[in-house]
Amino acid sequence: MFGNRVTLFKLLGFEVKIDSSWIILAILITWSLAEGVFPAYFEDMPASNYWAMGVAGALGLFLSIIFHELSHSLVARRFGILMKGITLFIFGGVAEMSEEPPSARAEFFTAIVGPVSSVLIAAVFYGILQIGEASGWPPAVNGVLFYLVWVNFLLALFNLLPAFPLDGGRVLRSILWSRKKNLLWATRVSSRVGSAFGVLFIAWGLWEIIRGNFIGGLWQSMIGLFLRGAATSSYRQMITRDLLSGLTVDRFMTPDPVTVPPDISLQRFVDDYLYRTHHRIYPVVKDGELVGCVTVKKLKNIPRDEWAQRRVAEIAAGCEEAAAISPDVQAMTALDSMNRTGTSRLMVVDKGRLVGIVTLKDLSEMLALRMELETPRQ
């Protein structure tokens, strides 16, 4: 879902990050407010006023979304759900969960608190607006406050749509889960509803484009594509977690993997190992003990004319923590580690000894087989 992310700050123990796509949203919001919304409602102001109002409105929305996602995170933590943090991206924000909620009750309260928080902050801004109007504050200030009331109320309504993975969709899933006692079934049904809403938004957006509202129609279509994609990927992730549940790495690792001795030259490593087996990371083993790893990235830092003289041991630094895993670790943990670090191979190490290697291909094949045999027909 996300590209490049930067951590902005830490709030109540949660990292608040911003995805590069949020910059696009911030620019679009500021521009639309400064050039369209505020000039239409507040005439005869200098252009600088409109742009100042646009920036203030965008910042207010930024804080509102953080408050919305923080409420999710706090309630999730109350139910013992491990949270990765809060990330702002082009379609708003998301409180990233490391795992599924432990119960339908936890799902319901974690989801419903989002729209409730948006209504609450809309009420706060409305109260400040009333004070501002009674006190004769400048129209520009009251205009921004009115926008923040309206946008937070709209944010609450949008999130209440029963379109998984929106908050309303998660509320729907919690109700289905509570009735059937089957999280996978509840996820399948709610994700289908979410996908259907995605199609509706796409159709609505195309209709708006035909009517001449190109920007609005394009935005609605993008939201529809996001909803459809997010609903589908959420269900697939749920299936993956369900099928890999209880499986440990030693069930499908490759024992006796290709290893490299530390005393051979880099040239021999390239000729006899790298160009024959085509991996990007190799365990370096001596007398059965894992002494380090050698990678293509490390090799590239060595001039080619030195390969014949230099040894593998010289560039075989210790395997990073992300590249090594214990054989009793859960398969889903291994998959999460691969996704997080971008590596496709993990060294399986038991008490310092290399006992195998698990690859993304191994996990994919195991998952595909179990999916074929165990997933019920829809």
Q: Which helix (H) or strand (E) holds 175?
A: helix 167-180
| Beta carbons of 45 and 39 less than 8 angstroms apart | yes
Task: Return the pLDDT at 178.
Answer: 92
In this structure, CATH architecture of domain 249-374:
Roll (3.10)
Contacts of 221 (CB under 8 A, 6+ apart): 201, 202, 205, 206, 209
Contacts of 359 (CB under 8 A, 6+ apart): 254, 344, 345, 346
Task: Return the pLDDT at 56.
Answer: 94
Share in percent of the chain as helix, strand, coil (round to 5): 60, 15, 20
pLDDT 10s digit of each residue in the chain, 378 long?
A: 445 677 777 777 777 887 877 788 788 888 888 888 888 888 888 889 999 999 999 999 989 988 998 898 899 888 888 777 777 766 666 777 767 788 999 999 999 999 999 999 999 999 999 999 999 899 999 999 999 999 999 999 999 999 888 899 999 999 999 998 888 888 889 999 999 999 999 999 999 888 888 877 887 888 888 888 888 888 877 777 777 777 788 877 888 788 889 899 999 999 998 888 888 788 888 887 888 888 888 888 889 888 999 999 888 876 665 577 788 888 777 777 777 666 777 878 887 777 888 877 777 777 777 666 665 555
- Is 0.85 surpassed by the pTM of this model? no
Task: Return the pLDDT at 57.
Answer: 93
**Backbone phi and psi for residue 211, each to the nearest 5 degrees, phi listed first:** -75, -10
Domain-wise residue ranges, the chain: 5-160, 184-245, 249-374
Task: Return the pLDDT at 115.
Answer: 93
Half-sphere exposure of 139 (CA within 13 A, CB side): 10
For the annotated catalytic residues, the residue numbers are 69
Measured CA to CA, the distance from residue 18 to residue 16 in angstroms comes to: 7
